[in-house]
Amino acid sequence: MTTDEIECGFAALQEQISANRDAIAETTEAVQKDEAALLARMAATAAAILPVAGLEVMARGKVDGAGEMYDQGYYPGKMFVLARTEPMPFRPDNPEKAVTDQFCVLKEDGTLAELMYSTDTVVVDSLLAPISPEDALGVYGPELLFMLYRALRQYLEGQDALLDALRTTLEYLHR
């Protein structure tokens, strides 16, 4: 192999790397333009597993002198908690209530919502307000996409482990 051949090959590699870099930048931009549509589709897909994999989310409760919760009430259906952000200063439904914690959740119907908790000395209550995929991405960032993907992946891994355990049990039973 001659030096000219090596230089020619090296130049071709550099050219391909540059072309890939440009294509990656263009494709990334196209995906980012459609992030909200991607989030909405992922949310609709993930909603199917919420009844079995989601969490019951507290709507309100009381705090005793030791800081323990009692007399809790829960939202109907289950949810995935996808992200947390710095809380807004007050709740949109009641400007006298400060927001102490603020989350983005996925509801069983496949829609996103903001969950805002307010706490005084005894009572913890909340507001569950719908949020569009565009607004959710603006407030909580693209981590929402990662968290939805991760939730589905963890559910699949749990299914695989359960299926393996059931097969092992059947094998043991039928020996």
Per domain, the residue ranges of the chain are 34-173
Q: Indicate the burial class of 140 (C-beta count within 10 angstroms; 0-12, 13-18, 19 or more).
A: buried
* Mean pLDDT for the chain overall: 91
Q: Give tens-digit pLDDT for 30-80.
A: 777 889 999 999 999 999 999 998 999 999 999 998 889 999 999 999 999
Task: Please tell me the pTM assigned to this model.
Answer: 0.77
Of 161, 163, 151, 92, which is closest to residue 127 (Cα–Cα)? 92
Collect all residues with Cβ–Cβ distance below 8 Å to 63 and sequence separation of at least 6. Answer: 69, 70, 119, 121, 122, 123, 124
Q: Give tens-digit pLDDT for 131-173.
A: 999 999 999 999 999 999 998 888 888 888 888 899 999 999 9
Please tell me the predicted confidence (pLDDT) of residue 89: 95
101-121 as b/e: b if 16+ CB within 10 A:
ebbbbbbbebbbbbbbbbbee
